[in-house]
Each structure stands twice: as structure tokens, then as C-alpha cells.
């Protein structure tokens, strides 16, 4: 699951990002309202966490603009403003939920999970490739009915490959979507994690799902 975190206070943003990553989410951060609007209009995020007090454009304006552009991803609004009129203003701007600062991080995660559950009826919560099954909510992975234990980063890489099933993804694409880093800063990290996945997912099965496309990147496919 990919989350855009829009928060201009660096310490708060770092704290939230670290906690979300430890919970297994892919997180991209932004501290400016105008940049947040561009990012959320052009990228398919599963959830946007949006602070109200932002430079450039405030969170209410960003939220309204996203809804006007028919962007329907769930939005969790954060604010130190906790009066009833403030909460109403956030929800009326198009937010799905409103959480006041300071907050307990466990409650924050619970609200993220609740927003993701609300989209279950319209979006798949699992991905399949041949006999490989990935549950996006529980993070359970199994192949041919056999459970496979993955680390958070291994799961994030597998999810990205599964969402791109049948297509070739380059190392640059993987580094941007899974690690949020430029490929040139990553040495051989991608190859290491691809090998981790292969050992857990492919080694004991005759059909190998994860393929290296020489000179181009990687692909996951259930085709022989």
C-alpha cells in the first residue's frame, strides 16, 4: 500500500513516516501544498495523509482541489485545530477522516486500516499470479496454499512486482516505488532483495515466477 504523507514539520513527518514503514507501508513525503496537489493528481496513492497548515496551499484547499479533479483516494486530515467547526470544515472539504494532534500512533494506524477497509468493496484486496496469493491488508503471502513469511521490505517489493504483473519493471522504477530513492544510491540492494524473494517464492517450485530480463529489469509472470 502506497501512502502520501503531506506534513511540513520535519520531525513529525519523519516520526510518522518511520512508523508507517515499520507497519509495512510504502511512504512518500511532501511538505508543500502545491507540490502535494501535483503529486496526488499524478500518482495513484492508496491513502493521502494531509496536514492542514501547509506552505504554498493549505490542506483544505488541496483536499477540495483533489475532489474537484475526481481523485477519490481516501484522505486522512491532520490538524492541531480540534473544534467542531474545524473538523466539519475538513470533512466538508472532502476528507474521509480527521485526526487532531497530538495523537496516539496506534490510533493513527487504526484509522489508516479503517480507510483501507472502506475501499474493499470497489478494489481488490489481494493479488494473484499463478498459485501465488498476496493479501494486501493482512500482508499474508502463500504459494500453493503454503504460507511464506516476508519482511516488510520484501513484501513491498513483491507487491510492486505483482501490481506490475506481466510488465517489465526497471531498477530505477523499483528504487523509486519501493525505496523512494534514486537507483544510483542503492548499489546492489535491489538484486539482494530480488534474490531473497526468489529463495522464498520460487526455489521449491518448478514454475519460476520472478524473471530477470537481461539489460532491462525484472518481471513477475505466471506464464510458463
Q: What is the pLDDT of residue 163?
A: 86
Please state the CATH superfamily assignment of the domain spanning residues 2-118 in this structure.
Response regulator (3.40.50.2300)
CB 136 within 8 A of CB 126: yes
Fold of 126-220: Arc Repressor Mutant, subunit A (1.10.10)
CB neighbourhood size of 165 (10 A): 16
Q: What is the pLDDT of residues 98-111, one digit of tens each?
A: 999 999 999 999 99
Confidence (pLDDT) at 124: 61
Per residue in 170-186, pLDDT (tens digit) is 888 888 778 766 555 55
Span 82-101, mean pLDDT? 93
Domain 126-220 in the same topology as domain 2-118: no
Which pLDDT band, with edges at 50, 70 and 90, does 144 fall under? very high
Pair 70, 40: CB distance under 8 Å: no
Q: Where are the domains of the chain?
A: 2-118, 126-220
The set of residues, in sequence order, having a beta carbon less than 8 Å from that of 158 and lying 6+ positions away, is 134, 141, 150, 197, 201
Amino acid at each position: 500500500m502506497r501512502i502520501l504523507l503531506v506534513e511540513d514539520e520535519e520531525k513529525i513527518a519523519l516520526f510518522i513516516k518511520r512508523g508507517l514503514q515499520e507497519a509495512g507501508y510504502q511512504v512518500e513525503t511532501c511538505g508543500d501544498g502545491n507540490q502535494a496537489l501535483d503529486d496526488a493528481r499524478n500518482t495513484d496513492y492508496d491513502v493521502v495523509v494531509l496536514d492542514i497548515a501547509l506552505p504554498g496551499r493549505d490542506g483544505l484547499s488541496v483536499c477540495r482541489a483533489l475532489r474537484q479533479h475526481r481523485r477519490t483516494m481516501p484522505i486522512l486530515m491532520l490538524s492541531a485545530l480540534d473544534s467542531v467547526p474545524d473538523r466539519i470544515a475538513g470533512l466538508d472539504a472532502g476528507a474521509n477522516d480527521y485526526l487532531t494532534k497530538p495523537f496516539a500512533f496506534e490510533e493513527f494506524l487504526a484509522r489508516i486500516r479503517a480507510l483501507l477497509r472502506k475501499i474493499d468493496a470497489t478494489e481488490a484486496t489481494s493479488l494473484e499470479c499463478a498459485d501465488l496469493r498476496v493479501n494486501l491488508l493482512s500482508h499474508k503471502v502463500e504459494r500453493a496454499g503454503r504460507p511464506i513469511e516476508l519482511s516488510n521490505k520484501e513484501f513491498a517489493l513483491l507487491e510492486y512486482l505483482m501490481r506490475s504483473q506481466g510488465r517489465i519493471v526497471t531498477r530505477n522504477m523499483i528504487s523509486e516505488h519501493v525505496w523512494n530513492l534514486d537507483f544510483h544510491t542503492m548499489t546492489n540492494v535491489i538484486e539482494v532483495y530480488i534474490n531473497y524473494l526468489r529463495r522464498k517464492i520460487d526455489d521449491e517450485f518448478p514454475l519460476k515466477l520472478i524473471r530477470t530480463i537481461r539489460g532491462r529489469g525484472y518481471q513477475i509472470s505466471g506464464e510458463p
